[in-house]
Amino acid sequence: DADPTTDSAYDVLSRFRLYTEDFKRELTPDEYPIVRLCRTQKPFSKWKVGILDGNGRHLSFDVSGEGIHDEKTGEFLAGIVVLKDVTEYTDIIKTQTRENDEQFELICDTMPQLLWTTSPTGHHDWFSRRWYEFTGLSVEESSGDGWALAFHPEDVGEAERRFKHSLATGDQYTTEYRCRRHDGEWRWMLGRALPLRDHRTNTIVKWFGTCTDIHDQVQARQEAKTMRQQLLNVIKHAKTTVWAVDHNRNLTFLQGILMWDENDEGIGEESIGKNVYDVFNQHQGKVDLPRWKPPMEEILNGMACEKISEHHVNGNGRWFRTRFIPILGKKANDEPGINENSETSNESRVEGLIG
């Protein structure tokens, strides 16, 4: 009788206790392979089930099923289910997986960064030991959305927005935010994460992320920004023009009102990257180019360490002094020697000039 719902069929099934592959849940009789086969009358393979033996040992089986049909009518007559014991193989895989996990955590614990992982939906499910040591948070406090407890409220919103974008697109996640150390000090961190994809389906199966301490770099960047603004203010109020060019004669810095046109305050941003001679030739300063170009070329060719030019600008009636000095860099080991008439050191090379 192929009917799995008869009393005799359940009497046979009651002798077995089947579980899910991970033994987290016992299967109901309706979920048994033979029952599914008889009801659907469709073959299957590569099912995984767990069975407890008489000693309570966990056994793993690979299950396949095939129906028997009447050759003439095609009527489903019975079903055959084959269980292949793969316990030994499964135990080897579990051992290897456990060892790989232990090695992964050991490597993560030796790194200075704070490491974390999330599910494909962004649920935080693991943090390295360094995370707990740095933040002082517990495993329970950090799980899920608890990670936000360690970061500055002003930075969490932007971090979440960026991570949601990465979850939706699969793009790399990058952000900067302040993380509170266990002693209460806020430290700037660089947060980065990349997705791990299933090589068969290309779907994301996990996100791996890091938090790297960049507090010193951020402070240095902010201090440099402040100093630059102070320098620009000094240049502006001193009625001085400061500019720099690279070895290719392209402007890399230009601040201050040009001496030829005091009303053109936006010339600096527009001129960066352009040839210095082309820029200065667009103004009244083209009259002074024949006087400026020779000393500039001497500096750039390493023939002089300093040049000074004084000239009168028609129109505003003022006299100006321009000082040219080289921007020096270290010469590469394989770089040819400098001209014997050069006034720069044999250990350095001219990378540009400041005027």
pLDDT in tens, 288-327: 677 778 888 888 888 888 888 777 666 556 677 788 888 8
Q: How many CB atoms lie within 10 A of CB 84?
A: 10
Number of Cα atoms under 13 Å in the Cβ half of residue 94: 11
């290719």: which residue's tokens? 248
Q: How many CB atoms lie within 10 A of CB 173?
A: 22
How many angstroms separate the Cα of 150 from the Cα of each of 48, 165, 267, 299, 331? 41, 21, 45, 54, 47
CA 121, 127, 128, 131 torsion-angle sign = positive
Helix (H), strand (E) at residue 293 = helix 289-300
pLDDT at 143: 86
Amino acid at 111: M
Q: How far is CA 263 from the centre of its chain?
A: 45
Helix (H), strand (E) at residue 9 = helix 7-13
pLDDT at 221: 84
First to last CA, the chain: 101
Q: How many CB atoms lie within 10 A of CB 16?
A: 14
Amino acid at 152: H
Count Cβ atoms within 10 A of the Cβ of residue 243 and give its class: 0-12 exposed, 13-18 middle, 19 or more buried: buried
**Which residues in the chain come in under a pLDDT of 70?**
1-16, 54, 89-97, 99-104, 106-108, 110, 235-239, 256-269, 283-288, 312-318, 331-347, 355
pTM of the predicted model as reported, rounded to 2 decimal places: 0.53
User: In 3D, which of 259, 288, 287, 282 has the Cα closest to residue 270?
Assistant: 282
Q: How far apart are CA 117 and CA 104, in angstroms?
A: 12
Q: What DSSP assignment string belongs to 97-118? A: HHHHHHHHHHHHHTSSSEEEEE
Helix (H), strand (E) at residue 275 = none
Helix (H), strand (E) at residue 197 = strand 186-197
pLDDT tens-place string over residues 277-287: 888 777 665 66
pLDDT at 168: 95
CB 109 within 8 A of CB 101: no
